[in-house]
Chains A and B, each alone.
Chain A
Amino acid sequence: MSGDEARDAILGAVDAATDAVRDGDPDAAHATLARDYRSVGALDGAARLDRFEGRLVDYGVDVVRLRAADVADALGARLDRRRAAHVVVPRGTPDAWRPAFAGRTTVRDDAPHDALEAADATVSGCAVAVAETGTIALDGGPGMGRRAASLLPDVHLCVVRASQVVELLPEAQARLQEAAAAGAPITWISGPSATSDIELERVAGVHGPRTLVVLLVEDA
């Protein structure tokens, strides 16, 4: 392989070019870089949830605030409204939500792509959510499913617990550190798929789910 030759040439050129400016201990130097931006939020719980909801609404997300005991009913109602007969239910989805899927065909998130493609909607939880940017992060953990599951169906219903909502991105990034270090695929979702490519008119949905519903559980 001439690959090693290219590798050595590039790294050699990089090292030579940076010879005079390199740090003796890059990690130590990195640790001292100034980070004067906010890394801890200032909003209290209620204000944080309000901000999160407001941001989602701005993105065109359908937001429902509810109590944990009402999740199954709310999921069922939203699935009915979207006429969702085929639903992707990821492994690890709480049993308490199961009544929402009665009378529907369910597929697991590890089903083949065409089975996921044929589904009308996906239900998932999330790993963490960011109020300031209206972002939901999925890391493939229990109840979140593999990536294709929340991508192929046209409707994504995502259940977010209040305790998962942080105010700022740096707080979320810290919570995701372990999953990232473990090599988990992570997806951030901030509103439904969108494009402004045609005369700058924003339209929902080119490739991802065109409808995003967030069920925000206030007491969990």
Chain B
Amino acid sequence: MSDARIPLPFHEAAPAALEDGQLRRNLAHVTTSIRAKRADATAELPDWEALRQAGKAIKDHTLRNLGTYLRRLEARVEAAGGTVHWARDAAEANRIVRDLVAAEGVREVVKVKSMTTDEIDLNGALAEDGVVAIETDLAELIVQLAEEPSSHILVPAIHKNRAEIRRLFLEAFDLPPEALSDDPAELAGAARRFLRERFLEARVAVSGANFAVAETGTTCIVESEGNGRMCTTLPETLITVLGIEKVVPTWRDLEVFLQTLPRSSTAERMNPYTSFWTGVHGGDGPRAFHLVLLDGGRSATLADDVGRATLRCIRCSACLNVCPIYERVGGHAYGSTYPGPIGAILTPQLRGEPRDGELPYASTLCGACYDVCPVAIDIPSILVDMRRRTVDARRAERALPVGDAVDAALRGAAVAFATPRRYEAAQRLARLGQAPWVRGGVLRNLPGPLAGWSDVRDLRAIPRQAFRDWWRERGGADGEGDA
């Protein structure tokens, strides 16, 4: 299934996703159950709205004064024995990490799930040096073994059922069929034994982070399984890649986000584990800490209100779970690390590829995403604003009605997503080649910037060496049974 690594534009990927019955059932299940639980978890707090407004205010303030807080963060991290690196884009960030890993002379690093490292395709970059990044979140490991991209920020393996996971594990850990049932607890146990060896062996860990505190130089990871604790504690060297928008001014500010994030994200009062570390600490944890601060299009989006509002996002995924379109098509269809409503506004601003221009149309503007957002990002208004900008840009560039035609077609897409029946009807039309917005008889032949819409297939390179091949070469599952 190496094809799955190549993102299609939304209008091509969405129909395929809709046809995948397992994915659709699982997505419907997760989104409905998390949605209900999230509502309870937030209603339980009498001051939810005050927390939400405080989160918005803190993030807004930080982004307006980002230069001050980034400089402060850098100074504090270095005073605490860490090293700060700056990366303008994905290539620079990957280069920094590759050089650090090469200096340690290791072939394997353990990695904790991170959207930022996904965004820069760090695993692919490391693979070019023959370095394997072992994903240590259970779901990420499953997705890695299956050689598929993840389909949900929170539950990346949601498209896989237990029988499929068992088959993957039997093969990857080289177990006889009788050694493992498809009981989730047993499957988790098998992954625990496999990964424990990796944690104890690993000399280098790579992570993202949820927050960094300028005042103290503290970095923070919010997680459930304990692999974040393992990665930030056991290896000698820890490399953390952080988007520059994730800094907060003070330690106290975390009291807001660490209340709103878990309730919005997994609908829990608190996630099982939150780790905070500050540079290096004698006798406890890594001896070297590298913080890679990634711009990656963020500074360019800071200038206007819409961009700053978008950068408030704390990646909780609540907006995905309430989104009627996301529920139907899943995460793969967005062709980006960031799917769903937030992806529809974030991806075009950060990445700005021509094909991302259609993402703001993958919405019915129902407003549910705004209501749940713990930092009160008004996603529907931003979508409308971005649609307007897309159209204006095309008009300016081409002085032709083409922009209008595309816009009308894409507005058709938004309408078509509004109900499943309409969407399915649109799909049938698409197969017959009668819906220009879907297959792009119009779009495909467009010259200039719009040509990019049909020219996306080589965007993300297939990893040089597939994880399963690497694992087989490495000698298979030596970790089993002797942990």
Chain A residues at the B interface, C-beta cutoff of 8 Å: 3, 6-7, 9-11, 13-18, 21-23, 26-27, 29-30, 33-39, 55, 58-59, 110, 113-114, 117, 130, 132-135, 140, 146-148, 151, 169-170, 173-174, 176-177, 180-181, 183-201, 203-209
Contacts and interface: CB of A to CB of B under 8 A. Distances in A.
Nearest to A149: B284
B302 A18 contact: yes
A185 B227 CA distance: 16
B388 interface: no
Contacts of B382: none
A19 B227 CA distance: 40
B33 interface: yes
Interface stretch (B274-282, B334-342, B436-444, B473-481): B274-282
Contact of A140 (B86, B229, B272, B284): B284
A10 B295 contact: yes
A156 to B, nearest CB: 11
B69 interface: yes
Residue in B65, B69, B216 whose Cβ sees the most chain A Cβ within 10 Å: B65
B78 to A, nearest CB: 12
Contacts of A18: 63-67, 302-303
Interface string B43-71: 00011001101100110010111111111
Given A30-B249, A36-B54, A189-B272, 18 more contacts: A3-B85, A6-B87, A18-B303, A26-B249, A29-B61, A37-B256, A55-B269, A117-B196, A146-B284, A148-B284, A148-B285, A151-B229, A177-B252, A187-B273, A187-B275, A188-B270, A197-B155, A207-B192
Interface size range of chain B in the complex? 35 or more
B80 A183 contact: yes
Given A189-B273, A200-B33, A17 B299 contact: yes
B275 A199 contact: no
Nearest to B258: A169
Nearest to A200: B30
B230 interface: yes
Interface of B: 26, 29-30, 33, 46-47, 50-51, 53-54, 57-58, 61, 63-71, 80, 85-88, 92, 96, 136-139, 142, 155-158, 161-162, 165, 184-185, 187-189, 191-192, 195-196, 199-200, 213, 215-218, 224-227, 229-230, 233-234, 244, 249-252, 254-256, 258-259, 266, 268-279, 281, 283-285, 293, 295, 299-300, 302-303, 308
Contacts, number: 257
Contact of A14 (B46, B67, B156): B67
A197 B162 CA distance: 10
A180 B218 contact: yes
Given A3-B85, A206-B188, A38 B47 contact: yes
Contact of A197 (B29, B92, B138, B299): B138
Contacts of B53: 34, 36
Contacts of B244: 10, 14
Nearest to A117: B200
B69 A6 contact: no
Nearest to A154: B192
Contacts of B189: 205
Contacts of A206: 138, 188, 191-192, 195, 225-227
A184 B280 CA distance: 9
Given A151-B233, A198-B157, A199-B184, A134 B66 contact: no
B252 A22 contact: no
B155 to A, nearest CB: 6
A6 B86 contact: yes
Contact of A190 (B200, B249, B269): B269
27 contacts: A10-B70, A11-B67, A13-B299, A14-B302, A18-B63, A30-B250, A35-B54, A37-B50, A37-B51, A37-B54, A117-B196, A130-B270, A134-B270, A146-B284, A148-B285, A183-B216, A185-B285, A194-B272, A195-B225, A198-B157, A198-B188, A199-B161, A199-B184, A205-B189, A206-B192, A206-B226, A208-B226
B295 A110 contact: no
B229 A201 contact: no
Nearest to A133: B270
A38 B46 contact: yes
A200 B272 contact: no
Contacts of A204: 185
A21 B67 CA distance: 12
